[in-house]
Amino acid sequence: MEFGPHLLLATLEGLVQASVLTLTALGLSLVFGVMRVVNVAHGEFYMLGAVLAWFVTSMIGGSAAIGFMAALIIAPLLVGLLAALADWLVLRRIDYDPERTIVATIGLLYIIQQVTLMTYGPDAHPVAPPFNTRLALPWFEFTDGGLSMYWPWGLSTTSYKLFVIAAAIVTLLALWMLMAKSKLGLILRATQLDGETAQAFGIPVEKVYALVFGMGAALAALGAVLVVPIQQAHYLMGDDPLLLSFIVVIIGGLGSLRGTVVAAILIGMSDGIISVFFTPTLAKILATLLVAMVLVYRPNGLFGAKPA
């Protein structure tokens, strides 16, 4: 494939990956920002979103579009509720102590993964996309007759992949509105700034924590529901997103939503483009190297706040 079409294809693939990664990493970043805890089970909430999407679509049956729309609402909601419950039953009782939370969420990771293995099984299952038209893309070249258009072999995307990108942008805007403009956003930001003072002002911090933990998990689940018609639901699919989300959150700055979005696009796009032109392994090597460099030279991330 020639360079131009090749680059366009790489960019499109990278954008799809960046969209899903942005949602997943935002969930992780939100939880860290407000609660100051690291959720190692985040990838499993992502996986649960995909698996629940499969359950919902296969139970509803009928048209793929209806099943998918239902999954888009039900799966993140259920995963969010489950995460809030886990927060209430486990994290609250260990006082959100950072080290103990890590151990507790590792335990949660194994429980979710193994229960999924025991119920859903070890096989990958597909979810039908609501719509999926192949869109061949044209390219331009200079010939003797001037500029002409042609259709390179393999240069294409699907309508569903474009939908994933659009859906991610809409979710991002909604989340930004929620954080910046609503009363709930104000409460979240107050808790993030200083939990104890917030409590003194009558904010039910424990409930806010449960809500945030649930929201973070629901964001991961939403990303997974969006990706599952492209990939498939599998009980081990949470490992990669967890690693990539950590990379994104470290580069962007823990707790900085703006930094998370920028870093997710950076990592998602570079992963797409580097894997297309070179190898996927090189993309992972470079991303991890970037993490190391950020930790050395900007320990708070590209957009992280300086420690007080």
Partner 1 sequence: MKSKTLLSAAPTRRNVLTGLAAAGAATALPNFARYAHAGSDAPIKIGFQVHRTGIGAAYGRWYERTTNAAAKVINDAGGINGRPIGIVAEDDGTDPKRGAEVLEKFANQHGCDIAYGTLFSHVVIGSAPRAAELKLPYFVVSEGHHVASGMLNRYTLQPGITDVKSQVQAMAPFVADNLGKKVTMIYPDFAFGHNHRDFFSEAIAAQGGEVIAKLAIPPTETSFTKYFPQIPRETEVIYHVMVGPSVLTFVKELGEFFGPSHPEIFGFIDSLEAVDFASPGLEFLEGTHFWEGMPRYAQSNQTDADKFYRAAIGIDDKGASLDDPKDVSTYAHMFGCWETLYTIKDGMEASGYKGPADRQSLIEAVEAITDMPEGREHPQGAKLFNGKTHQVFGPQYISKVEGGKLVVQHTTSIEDGLYPDEVDYTAQSF
Considering only the stretches 77-85, 125-133, 244-252, 296-304, report the one whose residues sit in contact with partner 1 under the rule CB under 8 A: 125-133
| Closer residue to partner 1, CB minimum distance, 190 or 265 | 265
| 11 contributes a contact to partner 1 by CB under 8 A | no
| 123 contributes a contact to partner 1 by CB under 8 A | yes
| Closer residue to partner 1, CB minimum distance, 25 or 37 | 25
| Closer residue to partner 1, CB minimum distance, 43 or 301 | 43
| Closer residue to partner 1, CB minimum distance, 1 or 178 | 1
Considering only the stretches 10-18, 91-99, 171-179, 291-299, report the one whose residues sit in contact with partner 1 under the rule CB under 8 A: 10-18
d(CA 203, CA 208): 8
Nearest-5° Cα angle at 284, 280 to 290: 145
| 137 contributes a contact to partner 1 by CB under 8 A | no
| 142 contributes a contact to partner 1 by CB under 8 A | no
Considering only the stretches 36-44, 121-129, 285-293, 299-307, report the one whose residues sit in contact with partner 1 under the rule CB under 8 A: 121-129
| Closer residue to partner 1, CB minimum distance, 6 or 92 | 6
Q: Return all residues near 203 (Cβ < 8 A) that are at least 6 apart.
A: 187, 190, 191
Could you write out the DSSP letters of every residue in 222-235?
Answer: HHHHHHTTTS-B-T
Number of CB atoms found within 10 A of residue 46's CB: 32
Nearest-5° Cα angle at 38, 172 to 280: 65
Please report, as residue ranges, which positions from 176 to 235 form the binding site for partner 1 (by CB under 8 A). Answer: 230-232, 234
| 6 contributes a contact to partner 1 by CB under 8 A | yes
Minimum distance of partner 1 from residue 122's CB (angstroms): 3
Angle between helices 42-60 and 3-35 (to 10 degrees): 110
| Closer residue to partner 1, CB minimum distance, 109 or 188 | 109
| 134 contributes a contact to partner 1 by CB under 8 A | yes
d(CA 99, CA 280): 33
Minimum distance of partner 1 from residue 204's CB (angstroms): 32
Minimum distance of partner 1 from residue 218's CB (angstroms): 22
| 270 contributes a contact to partner 1 by CB under 8 A | no
Measured between its terminal Cα atoms, the distance across the chain in Å is: 52
From 77, 92, 132, 139, residue interacting with partner 1 (rule: CB under 8 A): 132
| 149 contributes a contact to partner 1 by CB under 8 A | no
Pairing of strands 146-150, 156-158: unpaired
| 237 contributes a contact to partner 1 by CB under 8 A | yes
From 173, 177, 186, 236, residue interacting with partner 1 (rule: CB under 8 A): 236
Q: What's the burial of 42, exposed, middle or buried (CB within 10 Å: 0-12/13-18/19+)?
A: buried
| 121 contributes a contact to partner 1 by CB under 8 A | yes
- Three-state SS at 139: strand
d(CA 122, CA 47): 13
The percent of the chain in helix, strand and coil, each rounded to the nearest 5, is 70, 5, 20
| 4 contributes a contact to partner 1 by CB under 8 A | no
State the number of binding residues for partner 1 (CB under 8 A): 32
Q: How far is CA 300 from CA 134, 154, 233, 294, in A?
A: 42, 42, 34, 8
